[in-house]
Structure 1
Amino acid sequence: MVETSHDPYDHLHIFTSCCVPNALVMLYMSQDEDNRNCAYESIRDLIDSIRLLLPYTVYLQFLPVVLLELCKSLQRAAGYDDGLLYEICRHFLGVVVKDSKAMNIFHGGGDNRVMMIIALHDLFPFVAELASELTRGLVSSMESDFGPSRSEVKDFLAFLKPLKAAVVKNQVILPLSNCVFTCEDNLSNCIFTCEDNEIRFLYVIFDDLLTTLVMCLKAMEGLVIEKKENSGWDQYLVILKELHGISKLYQGGEEYFWRNLKDFKRSLCHLIVRYAKRGEDYKWILDQKDAIDFEARRHLVMLLFPMDEYDDIHEMFIDRSRLLTESFEYVANEEPERLRGELIMEFKDEEATGQGVLREWFFLLSQEIFNPKTGLFVACPNDPRRSFPNPSSNVDRLHLEYFRLAGRVIALALMNKIQVGIVFDRSFFLQLAGKNVSLEDIKDANPFLYSSCRQILDMDPSAVDALGLTFVWDINESGSIKVAELCPRGKDMIVNSSNRKAYVDLLIHHRFVASVAEKISHFARGFTDIIGGKKNLKMFFGSLALEDFDRILHGNESDICVVDWKAHTDRSPNILVLEEMTAKQRKALLFFWISMKYLPVEGFGGLTSRLYIYKSNESIDHLPSSHTCFYQILLPVYPSMAMMKNRLSFITQDHVGCSFGMS
């Protein structure tokens, strides 16, 4: 009796020595269609049986060899253009080599018997071949709607993974100048020997694709200006991200990458706004926020918010007179997933509901939270619009929970793209971004302290020694002054010309960081609840300038443009009275009309709908009404312009205009 081997490598040896791949491919290349179909089905069955029947660890080491042999046989028999079967085999080979456990096969792990049959170098031709296919697709996309296919890009990334891992493992970072070598033809025709260094090979791939993509971005510039779209651009960002990752493997590579893109900012920003999708990692771009414009930065940070499709809705019924306390009950301890779902808002004893009422609630609640009279935040003396956490907010035992509420509300307003007319102080914003606060950052929050510290730093050294200051600061706790040390034994340390910088830094840290750290931490927790993680929180604030955040959260800070208003309103001749209104009255009318006092940065063009004026069937004794959800105002047929002015001026009073909307 012949003993049967159960070692999979014995089977692998038998499989390869018997030239099974060659035999199947020869049958596949037959002129007889039945033979060809039989070979095709046999090869597919072979791949599926290995994938589905063999133990996982065996499959990972068996299938790459089988697929490699099949690909080589198909290349010899039919060339790269064979089509479907070759692409199927190549695709599955890419799937396997991308597997994290299979990666060991290609850089020193796994069974040595497999390493003798398949090596990292065996993947070079596939990487080069796919890179050439992408290059051809990119060139085509400059003149037509056909660009690199998603499947080609996916396979290219799969084959690159073990190659990049091998470069990283070598821990050799070469200058770009050491990596350059040329091929007489294109990449797919390059012949790479075992002596070729994968580091140099990878650079050729990188530089060829980057050069082609730069040509594409240049060609895009004019089309973007003309507002022409090309569906062949949809894989550009994916390829650029991969090239950026490769660039970091080379000394000076990342700088080289961004230097090539710097002249095509318009094209890059268009790609981001048009093709960047939620769930992808765009940190590689956000780390270079100056390389893109505000619109692109805004688009990317807004993608950080997860959009949960929650079956249930979160309904809120709130008394206007108890806006903050009842909103706290509905929002503070609710599961974040529900808050990220559909919110339904209704004020008690009012019929109106819908998105218009939700926008009104966000605006009124945000204004209430950040009102200095509430005690959570204080206004900056140099810029009263800006808010900073109140160091003395602990007079309310629930103040920290209200800071967490504030974080949730602001994050939800951002997620729902509602401008609430709030702006943060710079030091507050920087701490949310995880950045240090310097003297220049406190100029608006405490101009007196800023001026004093600046004088200490700038005065003559002998004058500093004469001040008699020590490393302490005064804390106001519920009306009483308490002296606190800035460092251990601070009361015994005299401020002099040598340590004055340290004194100023410690003073700023204690006054603007340590004193509000717990409050900002709770605000950040609330924001994190909605944006879905500390990493997203830090990336959101770290990727924006304060001015960017102002524009997203506050909205357009310019006076409302009457011309723009009319241009985006159907039947706009009926609102000629806008010119005669004050800026405050226009905001009040806009709030009555659409539940917004602050427009997006783009003005009326940034709204989700045009504005509408409709005739109301009510008598002329009635005031106008509105459907805020649908951006509609309803006007009775007033007999004169004077009467219309009178009625509109009445509803633009703050205590009236917020309660006449219908939905």
Structure 2
Amino acid sequence: SKLKVVQPNIRVCDLFFLESYRQVMKMRPKDLWKRLMVKFRGEEGLDYGGVAREWLYLLSHEMLNPYYGLFQYSRDDIYTLQINPDSAVNPEHLSYFHFVGRIMGMAVFHGHYIDGGFTLPFYKQLLGKPITLDDMESVDPDLHNSLVWILHGSRKGLIVCGLGKIDINDWKSNTRLKHCTPDSNIVKWFWRAVESFDEERRARLLQFVTGSSRVPLQGFKALQGAAGPRLFTIHQIDANTDNLPKAHTCFNRIDIPPYELYDKLYDKLLTAIEETCGFAVE
């Protein structure tokens, strides 16, 4: 199944959401099982998996946004989502929920993740499991008195959304090096920069390189590339050190020029993850 959508930015997020909605909803159910190929208008990126992964991630960020009235946060201080009881103010709300279900199914089937998580009763409903009074306690932390129950039930959410917290040791242990070694300055400085980042910047770096800010449930060893599992890769390239690092999301690879100083690598890496988007072509 092939999709061609506008590249999302601040001005066209609504258009990106609606265009994706129209294209996905006109597809036949059997087409949703086919290989997913996505092309952003105006971009050269070829979809070997990375473009579709980022499309699903960015689209989920939009469709789960409470701004659209379909979902709401379960509490002001907790960012799990539940269905908005007032969603019917949008006359098309049932069709949009159908669309959300298709996107979640496509994400699970194709091995990708979405940007968001739901309450545990929501997942149990999806799985056809009965909802108990204890489940409802998890929606409100003030009433919740069973941490063990949460740890047991939250795995259902991880199947769809992946792990939110990034384990740097796991990341290091499951990273491939190309044209460099663990003792290369580029490698040592890269990890030094990662360790200095807060969780948000680490997630943005991961999304810049892989197309998703979430880690698979099995950890970094289970990162997916164009043709199946592919480790995160640091590639030192022979390039002008005025250039920014370049990401290849279909191969989970970051190309880094041989910067002379740590501060320069840090600044260039930060600029790359905060001010650029798009796909390199191989």
Q: TM-score range by the shorter chain?
A: 0.7 to 0.9
CA RMSD of aligned residues (A): 2.3
The corresponding residue for 2:147 is none
Q: Describe how 1:304-315 pairs up with structure 2 within 5 A.
A: 313-315=1-3
- Structure 1 CA distance, aligned partners of 2:112 and 2:23? 19
- Structure 2 CA distance, aligned partners of 1:400 and 1:602? 34
Instruction: Judge conservation of contact 1:362–1:420 (CA < 8 Å) in 2.
Output: yes
The corresponding residue for 1:316 is 4
The corresponding residue for 2:162 is 555
The corresponding residue for 1:390 is 84
Instruction: Judge conservation of contact 2:170–2:219 (CA < 8 Å) in 1.
Output: yes
The corresponding residue for 1:358 is 52
| Aligned pairs, number | 253
Offset of residue 593 of structure 1: 0.7
The corresponding residue for 1:432 is 126
The corresponding residue for 1:643 is 264
Which amino acid is 2:86 matched to? S
Summarize the Cα distance change of 1:650–1:428 in structure 2 as closer, same or farther, 3 Å threshold.
same
- Structure 2 CA distance, aligned partners of 1:333 and 1:660? 27
Instruction: Judge conservation of contact 2:64–2:70 (CA < 8 Å) in 1.
Output: yes
The corresponding residue for 2:33 is 340
Offset of residue 399 of structure 1: 1.3
Summarize the Cα distance change of 1:440–1:567 in structure 2 as closer, same or farther, 3 Å threshold.
closer
Question: Which SS does the other structure have where 2:113 is aligned?
Answer: coil
Instruction: Judge conservation of contact 1:421–1:555 (CA < 8 Å) in 2.
Output: no
- Structure 1 CA distance, aligned partners of 2:129 and 2:157? 18
Q: Describe how 1:250-261 pairs up with structure 2 within 5 A.
A: none
The corresponding residue for 1:53 is none
- Structure 2 CA distance, aligned partners of 1:649 and 1:319? 22
The corresponding residue for 1:661 is 279
- Structure 1 CA distance, aligned partners of 2:278 and 2:3? 21
TM-superposition CA deviations, 1:21-49 (whole Å, max 9, x none):
xxxxxxxxxxxxxxxxxxxxxxxxxxxxx
- Structure 1 CA distance, aligned partners of 2:141 and 2:241? 54
Question: Which SS does the other structure have where 2:159 is aligned?
Answer: helix
Task: Say which of 589, 602, 611 aligns to 2:218.
Answer: 602
Q: Describe how 1:39-54 pairs up with structure 2 within 5 A.
A: none
Instruction: Judge conservation of contact 2:5–2:16 (CA < 8 Å) in 1.
Output: no
Offset of residue 413 of structure 1: 0.4
For structure 2, the residue ranges without an aligned partner over 5 or more in a row are 145-151, 224-228
Instruction: Judge conservation of contact 1:314–1:339 (CA < 8 Å) in 2.
Output: no
- Structure 2 CA distance, aligned partners of 1:601 and 1:333? 32
Task: Tell me, yes or no, if structure 1 residue 378 matches structure 2 residue 72.
Answer: yes
TM-superposition CA deviations, 1:341-368 (whole Å, max 9, x none):
0111121111113211111111111121
Which amino acid is 2:35 matched to? E
Instruction: Judge conservation of contact 2:124–2:130 (CA < 8 Å) in 1.
Output: yes
For structure 1, the residue ranges without an aligned partner over 5 or more in a row are 1-312, 452-544
Structure with bigger strand share is 2
Instruction: Judge conservation of contact 1:380–1:444 (CA < 8 Å) in 2.
Output: no
| Identical columns (%) | 28
- Structure 1 CA distance, aligned partners of 2:30 and 2:257? 43
Task: Tell me, yes or no, if structure 1 residue 613 matches structure 2 residue 234.
Answer: yes
- Structure 2 CA distance, aligned partners of 1:426 and 1:565? 28
- Structure 1 CA distance, aligned partners of 2:57 and 2:132? 32
Which amino acid is 1:662 matched to? A
Summarize the Cα distance change of 1:328–1:589 in structure 2 as closer, same or farther, 3 Å threshold.
same
Question: Which SS does the other structure have where 1:424 is aligned?
Answer: coil
Offset of residue 429 of structure 1: 2.4
Offset of residue 622 of structure 1: 2.0
Which amino acid is 1:583 matched to? E
TM-superposition CA deviations, 1:233-254 (whole Å, max 9, x none):
xxxxxxxxxxxxxxxxxxxxxx
Instruction: Judge conservation of contact 2:236–2:257 (CA < 8 Å) in 1.
Output: yes
After TM superposition, the score normalised by the length of structure 1 is: 0.36
Task: Tell me, yes or no, if structure 1 residue 625 matches structure 2 residue 241.
Answer: no
Instruction: Judge conservation of contact 1:319–1:326 (CA < 8 Å) in 2.
Output: no
Q: Describe how 1:490-529 pairs up with structure 2 within 5 A.
A: none
Question: Which SS does the other structure have where 2:217 is aligned?
Answer: coil
Question: Which SS does the other structure have where 2:36 is aligned?
Answer: strand
Question: Which SS does the other structure have where 2:254 is aligned?
Answer: strand
Offset of residue 446 of structure 1: 5.7
Question: Which SS does the other structure have where 2:250 is aligned?
Answer: helix
Offset of residue 383 of structure 1: 6.3
Task: Tell me, yes or no, if structure 1 residue 399 matches structure 2 residue 93.
Answer: yes
Instruction: Judge conservation of contact 1:600–1:606 (CA < 8 Å) in 2.
Output: yes
Offset of residue 329 of structure 1: 1.3
Offset of residue 410 of structure 1: 0.4
Summarize the Cα distance change of 1:432–1:603 in structure 2 as closer, same or farther, 3 Å threshold.
closer
The corresponding residue for 1:634 is 255
Q: Describe how 1:34-73 pairs up with structure 2 within 5 A.
A: none
Q: Describe how 1:154-233 pairs up with structure 2 within 5 A.
A: none
Instruction: Judge conservation of contact 1:386–1:423 (CA < 8 Å) in 2.
Output: yes
TM-superposition CA deviations, 1:314-347 (whole Å, max 9, x none):
2323331222111101101211211210111121
Instruction: Judge conservation of contact 2:209–2:253 (CA < 8 Å) in 1.
Output: yes
TM-superposition CA deviations, 1:86-136 (whole Å, max 9, x none):
xxxxxxxxxxxxxxxxxxxxxxxxxxxxxxxxxxxxxxxxxxxxxxxxxxx
- Structure 1 CA distance, aligned partners of 2:67 and 2:251? 34
Instruction: Judge conservation of contact 1:359–1:596 (CA < 8 Å) in 2.
Output: yes
- Structure 1 CA distance, aligned partners of 2:140 and 2:262? 49
Offset of residue 394 of structure 1: 1.7
Instruction: Judge conservation of contact 1:388–1:445 (CA < 8 Å) in 2.
Output: no
- Structure 1 CA distance, aligned partners of 2:169 and 2:141? 39
Which amino acid is 2:173 matched to? A
Task: Say which of 170, 173, 187 aligns to 1:567.
Answer: 173
The corresponding residue for 1:28 is none
Question: Which SS does the other structure have where 1:413 is aligned?
Answer: helix
Offset of residue 371 of structure 1: 1.5
The corresponding residue for 1:587 is 203
- Structure 2 CA distance, aligned partners of 1:632 and 1:436? 43
Structure with bigger helix share is 1
The corresponding residue for 1:4 is none
Offset of residue 382 of structure 1: 7.0
Which amino acid is 2:164 matched to? E
- Structure 2 CA distance, aligned partners of 1:422 and 1:552? 12
- Structure 2 CA distance, aligned partners of 1:550 and 1:420? 11
